[in-house]
Amino acid sequence: MLIIGERINSSRKVICDAMRSRDASVLQLEARMQSDAGAHYIDCNAAAVGVEEEPTTLAWAIKVIQDAVDVPVCIDSPNPEAIAEAIKVHRGRALINSITAEKKKLSALLPIIAEHNPRVIALCMSDAGMPKGVEERLIIAESLVEELVRAGVGEEDIFIDPLVLPISVNGDIGQTILRAVAQLRERFPKAHIVMGLTNISHGMPKRGWLNRAFLVMAMAAGLDSVICDPTDRTMMALLIASKALLGQDEFCMNYINAARRGMLDL
């Protein structure tokens, strides 16, 4: 299970303030916490600082994070200009979050992808807006994978995101996403399936329980990557246990080692 730590996001006031004041210590503490908790990538989003400031802020944040931890960064922005600036300073192979089927944005990002060869998150959204059901998500995914493969991206470097929405506004979205994950896994066996996990609980009380339960369900459906808060020890313990139960942990050695290290003591 590939874990992308979500905590360095400018939608959080403490992160936005640190980015604006160039307080590296805040970002580096968050990066180290997530890396130590098991994150394979550190997601970094600076969109809330403003459109004009985002490109330079995001590039600064990438440098700051990589000075603190050895794991690569997931460059997270809706702005192709910001992604272009950030990927220039990234050391090693980055992950871009995210590519959509919106034609203007896709055409701007494809040359960046061709030049820098990152891994990419392909979000199931198009110029028509938010997808309404499973089939629409599959159609968008087919189009995105086709475009990315044509641009030279290997299917194994594509992370398909079915676009999780809050259950607070759509009570059926959980089942829709689980069906989409299962069908995407069947159609694209070489690709990764990822989701922004905590979107499911937005607007709800005691969000952690919804996030944890949904992660276990999605793993059973075929999810193999997740954007989440890896400092949630209960969720990480459930992730480790789920891998063992799904046959993704040979001889249950990861589970046994986690137990020995106290990672399952909550």
- Domain-wise residue ranges, the chain: 2-207+222-228
By three-state DSSP, how is residue 91 classified? coil
- Integer Cα distance of 195 and 218 in angstroms: 9
- Integer Cα distance of 145 and 102 in angstroms: 13
- Integer Cα distance of 161 and 223 in angstroms: 10
> What CATH superfamily is the domain 2-207+222-228?
Dihydropteroate synthase-like (3.20.20.20)
Q: What is the pTM of this model?
A: 0.96
Contacts of 100 (CB under 8 A, 6+ apart): 106, 122, 123, 125, 126, 144
Q: What is the percentage of the chain residues whose pLDDT exceeds 70?
A: 100
pLDDT of 266 strictly over 90: no
By three-state DSSP, how is residue 195 classified? coil
pLDDT tens figures, 215-232:
999 999 999 999 999 999
